[in-house]
Structure 1
Amino acid sequence: MPSFADFTVLDYLSNIIDILLVWFVIYKLIMVIRGTKAVQILTGIFVIIVVRTLSGFLGFNTLSWMMEQAITWGFLAIIIIFQPELRRALEQLGRGRLFSRTGLQEVEEQERIVEAIVKAINYMAKRRIGALVTVERETGMGDYIETGIAINSTISSELLINIFIPNTPLHDGAVIIQKQNIAAAACYLPLSESPFISKELGTRHRAALGISEVTDAITIIVSEETGSISITKNGELHRDLSPDDFKNLLGTELMASVKNVSSTRWSWRVKKQNG
């Protein structure tokens, strides 16, 4: 067995890079599955492994055998259950896009999303159609998505507007946007219990503040009484925004999630359009 004296500086450097790459892959996988039901499956797998270890240590042979079978056949079941996701990951690997997209693609997609949201919100504000739209960022919102009606559709201004038309099945509640899709509608958000909230604010504003206190999501509110546009983020409420201020604030917040070049390009586009 080699001793520490046998290791060279190159060996140490190679091991450090190896460990960093493993942690990078694990981190990316966690980012992919956060806020999804895959987290629950991984939790179940972890529980089975713990029970298998304890049962073997304590001599519970039958339980140990059952857990062994669950582990042996469980991985095959996971491959079958996640077959579409695995195929998509392999396709992205073949295109060199497993862990990241090009900066230009991210910028263009994020700009499209911002434009769609801005168009829908301005349309509803002019007609005083109440709306509540939450955009997921780093903190997963899987628990809140499950309280609503699954949609899983590409974001478009037309779809957002149709969802909030009064007296339709999905208009009451929040729309949650996850990545590049409208994940669900008619979702329940936690109401803020802050005593400093103005009494004139309704349930939509309290829900928007509530979700901003427990996640890093950005939430847009359209008042059906006044048609005013507001945004909440990090427990803060930005009320009665003008169309230009709303577009600038939303663009700044959402474009911050992509590369720095995206923020520069977005600012340039906003100045060009306003000019």
Structure 2
Amino acid sequence: MEFFDLQEIRIIDIIDVVLVAALMYYLYKLVKGTVAINIFVGIVIMYGIWRLTVFLDMLLLSRILGGFLGVGMVALVIVFQQEIRKFLLMIGSTNFSARKRMLQRFNLFADEELQTNIPAIIGACGKMSRSQTGAIIVLKRNNSLEFVKTSGDRMNAEVNQPIIESIFYKNSPLHDGAILIEDNMITATRVILPVSNEKKIPQRFGLRHRAALGITEKSDAVCIVVSEENGQISYLKEGDFVLFEGLDELQRLLEKDLSL
């Protein structure tokens, strides 16, 4: 018995399956490792039971479950508000500036983009880590960061290791708060960042890490934090900690993320 005819499969059907698979993959990435994954699995199970009751023509139970799932859509938006925000940011970050960078790689634009001096940033972070100097560095990617830049002091200095170290020197008037780096320029210091209310953050992480999580939740920026307590360097992206081994790997991560 034939279940389907291969000749009836259209190109649009294949595209449809690929897009659904990609959507499910990104949804899984967003909820992986969070409490939301358990809620998501529960919803899938409830939906499967509802479809089974409809198939078996169990009118009363199917109507109850159908009504519950219908009202539950509002609750889903509340429960998954952070994940939905990340998903929309991920889609919205594919903007004209990102496309321009892609075209520049193929030399379709005459002007060359100013590349961020990543070795200087990594060198400064390594030295501040050894001296246990607290620091928080925000690196802009595609989304505008004007909503936090206005909270700090404007600056227009090219990125280099001595400047970064001098800003976060403990007796410097500029060390309190974050610095904002756009392309290869330090554009603001003493920036006040939105603090994350995420409950899963371990207690050993302080206000700097919560602020780094907050800005990476509300934008596609990446953030480096140097702990004042133990000198540990943390790298944050998309509202989560990114694990790495050593400064060389951190540099490769930055080069990759800032090229997107």
TM-score range, shorter chain: 0.5 to 0.7
1:60-209 alignment to 2 at 5 Å? 100-102=109-111, 105-106=112-113, 109-110=114-115, 113-209=117-213
Per-residue deviation at 1:180? 2.2
Contact 1:228–1:240 (8 Å) recurs in 2:
no
Pair 241,101 (structure 1): closer, same or farther in 2 beyond 3 Å = farther
Distance in 2 (CA, whole Å) between partners of 1:143 and 1:101 is 31
Pair 224,174 (structure 1): closer, same or farther in 2 beyond 3 Å = same
Which deviations, in whole Å up to 9, do the C-alpha atoms of 1:98-138 show, x marking residues without a partner?
Answer: x9455xx44xx42x511111111111111111110000111
Per-residue deviation at 1:213? 0.3
SS in 2 for 1:128: coil
Partner of 2:251: 247
Contact 1:175–1:184 (8 Å) recurs in 2:
yes
Per-residue deviation at 1:208? 0.3
Matched, 1:220 2:224: yes
Distance in 1 (CA, whole Å) between partners of 2:243 and 2:205 is 10
Contact 1:192–1:210 (8 Å) recurs in 2:
yes
Per-residue deviation at 1:237? 0.8
Distance in 2 (CA, whole Å) between partners of 1:101 and 1:187 is 34
Per-residue deviation at 1:245? 2.1
Partner of 2:86: none
Partner of 2:239: 235
SS in 1 for 2:117: helix
Q: Which residues of structure 2 form unaligned runs of 5+?
A: 1-94, 101-106
SS in 2 for 1:232: strand
Per-residue deviation at 1:250? 1.5
Pair 241,187 (structure 1): closer, same or farther in 2 beyond 3 Å = farther
Q: Which residues of structure 1 form unaligned runs of 5+?
A: 1-26, 33-96, 258-275
Letter of the structure 1 residue corresponding to residue 150 of structure 2: E
Per-residue deviation at 1:141? 0.4
Distance in 2 (CA, whole Å) between partners of 1:200 and 1:145 is 28
Per-residue deviation at 1:28? 6.0
1:47-62 alignment to 2 at 5 Å? none
Distance in 1 (CA, whole Å) between partners of 2:140 and 2:187 is 10
Per-residue deviation at 1:154? 1.0
Letter of the structure 2 residue corresponding to residue 252 of structure 1: K
Distance in 2 (CA, whole Å) between partners of 1:172 and 1:152 is 18
Distance in 2 (CA, whole Å) between partners of 1:134 and 1:187 is 9
Pair 28,234 (structure 1): closer, same or farther in 2 beyond 3 Å = closer
Contact 1:229–1:240 (8 Å) recurs in 2:
no
Report which of the two has the higher share of helix.
1
TM-score after normalising by structure 2: 0.56
* Identical-residue share of aligned pairs (%): 33
Distance in 1 (CA, whole Å) between partners of 2:211 and 2:127 is 22
Once superposed, what is the RMSD of the aligned Cα atoms?
A: 2.4
SS in 1 for 2:229: coil
Distance in 2 (CA, whole Å) between partners of 1:160 and 1:169 is 13
Pair 200,149 (structure 1): closer, same or farther in 2 beyond 3 Å = same
Contact 1:220–1:229 (8 Å) recurs in 2:
yes
Distance in 1 (CA, whole Å) between partners of 2:182 and 2:223 is 12
Distance in 2 (CA, whole Å) between partners of 1:176 and 1:119 is 17
Which deviations, in whole Å up to 9, do the C-alpha atoms of 1:233-257 show, x marking residues without a partner?
Answer: 1111125752222122112212x23
Pair 191,241 (structure 1): closer, same or farther in 2 beyond 3 Å = farther
Equivalences, count: 159
